[in-house]
Amino acid sequence: MATTRSAFRSVNDPALYVALELSKKEWKLGITSGFGMAPWVRAVASGDFAAIDRVLARTRRHFGLPATAPVVSCYEAGRDGFWIHRAVTIRGWHNRVVDSASIEVNRRARRTKTDRIDACKLVTMLVRACAGERGVWCEVRVPSEAAEAARQVSRERSALVGERTRLSNQIGSWLASWGCQVSARARARAGWWTGAHDWQGAELPVSVRARFARAHARLLVVAEQIEALDAEQRRAVAAAPAESALGRLVRVKGVATTSASTLLDEGLIWRDFQNRREVGGLLGFAPAHYASGETQRDRGISRAGNARLQAVSIQLAWSWVRWQPSSALTQWYRARFGAGRRARRIGIVAVARKLLIALWQYARTGVPPTGAVLKAA
């Protein structure tokens, strides 16, 4: 189960607080024993847990803590992923993984920033968070190793689809630079570049045709890899029990295999949401109001949230409006945003947020969204 909170009890208990400021070659450790104690900062080689144990032993003696005092730690989520969390948890530490974008910073125009300062800042915030102060930072839900491995398929597919789009657009740009008119359907054929002509009807130079050939070969490789990943997702759906979250989602009309896989891989279930507000918080799409004194304005929706979930949720919202016309959500959308193209584009964001929450409830409980049509078994 994914967790964000440690089992540590109280900041009044004797404990060692450790903040890990990570880098490629070395880690800075900011260490303290609680409020009012100036942090120690020590550097160790990256991943050298034996050296960390020696530093902690010396630090316990310095702060007068018993050898049995628990270690409460934190580090910022980033390039190193979650293996550090698993490594320190096995060693008995109570660890928290922090969203780096949520850490408060000095608002001066030019401020000093070093790993040492960051480690001291992070360990101080860790003590505040353990003391029960709300809003200090946001913590990341750590997936299980199985969940983290499973989401590589949908993430790789998204990257490959982006690569396919990039290559296709590049080829179109190269053609435009020579005044060529070759349709997308014609470009699907092998060797299409041999019959392409420039703006005056002349054959393209050999080097240009060779570049098209290499780009087309890369497109074929990308398409082959996308098809392999699609086949893997289809096999996963076929093997999923009917009452599993994946089995339920793919039965809903308008929800395809790829969309259902992305929703689940990004944490619709393994994040273990407690309520609908937590689901909406992951997606984002929340209003960003500005109100200060007599100045009040709406700055649109927040950009915070999971970008992959946002993209697939918007796609699902349009599919839902098309394939689920009798559902309560579609009827609400058409009644409120049916007038005008701009209003529909604004309203589809609200549909995406409501739909994700409804699908989360359906995946957990088996109760489909109101008025939704399920596919025939």
Question: Residue 288 sits in which domain range?
Answer: 247-365
Could you tell me if 167 and 116 lie in one domain? no
In a domain? residue 28: yes
φ/ψ of 296, rounded to 5, equals: -140, 130
Query: Burial code of 286-323, b = ≥16 C-beta within 10 A, e = fewer?
Result: eeeeeeeeeeeeeeebeebbeebbbebbbebbebbbee
For the domain that residue 38 is a member of, what is the CATH number? 3.30.420
The DSSP secondary structure of 235-274, one letter per residue, reads HHHHHS-TTSHHHHHTTBTT--HHHHHHHHHTTTTTT---
- 173, 204, 239 - which closes a domain: 239
In a domain? residue 135: no
pLDDT at 1: 38
Could you tell me if 187 and 282 lie in one domain? no
- On the question of pLDDT at 5 being above 60, the answer is no
Could you tell me if 47 and 86 lie in one domain? yes
At 4, the pLDDT band (50, 70, 90 cuts) reads very low
The DSSP secondary structure of 140-161, one letter per residue, reads PPPPPHHHHHHHHHHHHHHHHH
Could you tell me if 252 and 234 lie in one domain? no
Number of domains in the chain: 3
Could you tell me if 231 and 257 lie in one domain? no
Could you tell me if 152 and 229 lie in one domain? yes
Residues 256 and 237: beta-carbon distance below 8 Å: no
pLDDT at 377: 66
Could you tell me if 58 and 116 lie in one domain? yes
pLDDT average, residue stretch 18-27: 95
The string of pLDDT tens digits covering residues 112-159 is 889 999 999 999 999 999 998 988 999 999 999 999 999 999 999 999
Place of tokens 């400021």: 21
Could you tell me if 267 and 319 lie in one domain? yes
pLDDT average, residue stretch 159-188: 94
pLDDT at 2: 43
Average pLDDT, the chain: 91
Could you tell me if 22 and 90 lie in one domain? yes
Distance of CA 61 to the CA centre of its chain: 41
Could you tell me if 263 and 356 lie in one domain? yes
- 239, 259, 288 - which closes a domain: 239
The string of pLDDT tens digits covering residues 240-260 is 999 999 999 999 999 999 999
pLDDT average, residue stretch 329-347: 91
In a domain? residue 291: yes
Residues 269 and 263: beta-carbon distance below 8 Å: no
Q: Which two tokens stand for residue 186?
A: 């014609």
The string of pLDDT tens digits covering residues 230-239 is 999 999 999 9
In a domain? residue 226: yes
In a domain? residue 332: yes
Could you tell me if 103 and 169 lie in one domain? no
In a domain? residue 116: yes
CA distance from start to end of the chain: 31
* Helix or strand holding residue 362 (H, E): helix 341-365
Could you tell me if 119 and 31 lie in one domain? yes
Residues 283 and 352: beta-carbon distance below 8 Å: yes
In a domain? residue 7: no
- On the question of pLDDT at 37 being above 80, the answer is yes
pLDDT at 63: 92
pLDDT average, residue stretch 205-221: 95
In a domain? residue 60: yes
- 207, 239, 271 - which closes a domain: 239
